[in-house]
Amino acid sequence: MATITVRLGGILMTILKNKSVNNVLYDNVSECICDFLQMHKERDSCFEDDT
């Protein structure tokens, strides 16, 4: 169990050090969070200020 955690940690650190991959992951995570918020709070706009 510990070795798996260490391996995952190493993979995560490698990904975090790779800027392009990190940006892609961040965009995907942001979209997931956005969808999550829209789904559960039924908001029309997500991360966008419509003033």
2-45: per-residue pLDDT in tens?
777 778 778 777 766 777 766 777 778 878 777 877 776 655 55
Supply the pLDDT for residue 25.
74
pLDDT of residue 32: 74
Residue 48 lies in a domain: no
- Count the domains in the chain: 1
pLDDT at position 45 is 52
Phi, psi of 21 (to 5 degrees): -65, -40
Q: Is residue 46 part of a domain?
A: no
Model confidence, pTM: 0.33
Q: Could you tell me the residue range of the domain that residue 36 belongs to?
A: 2-41
Q: Is residue 50 part of a domain?
A: no
pLDDT at residue 46, rounded to an integer:
55
For the chain, helix (H) and strand (E) counts, in that order, are 2, 0
